[in-house]
Amino acid sequence: METILFYLKYYANVLIELCGFDGGGGSNALGWFVVGVALLLVIGAFYIGVTSALWPGERDPSHIKYRILDDEETPRAH
């Protein structure tokens, strides 16, 4: 468990330095905040993307996908 915490802290510090917060002003709390918000945004976007891909949830019978998939209404080239 200590190894995981070590690596989490290490990579968080790397991200903070990449964002330009070197801690020269004393505390790097702003850097932690920026990295934390960015991490939450990435996790949220990944979650929404995966759930939307696996379970699209569109059940409206008038949705365009049903018109596209219906063979009777598809125009055919001669």
Give tens-digit pLDDT for 49-63. 999 888 877 778 777
What's the confidence (pLDDT) of residue 55?
Answer: 83
Which pLDDT tens digit goes with each residue over 3-50? 888 888 888 888 777 776 665 666 667 777 888 898 999 999 999 999
Closest CA to 29 of 40, 38, 16: 16
Distance CA 44, CA 20 (A): 24
Q: Report pLDDT for 27.
A: 64
pLDDT at position 22 is 61
Q: pLDDT at position 40, please?
A: 94
Radius of gyration of the chain (CA): 24
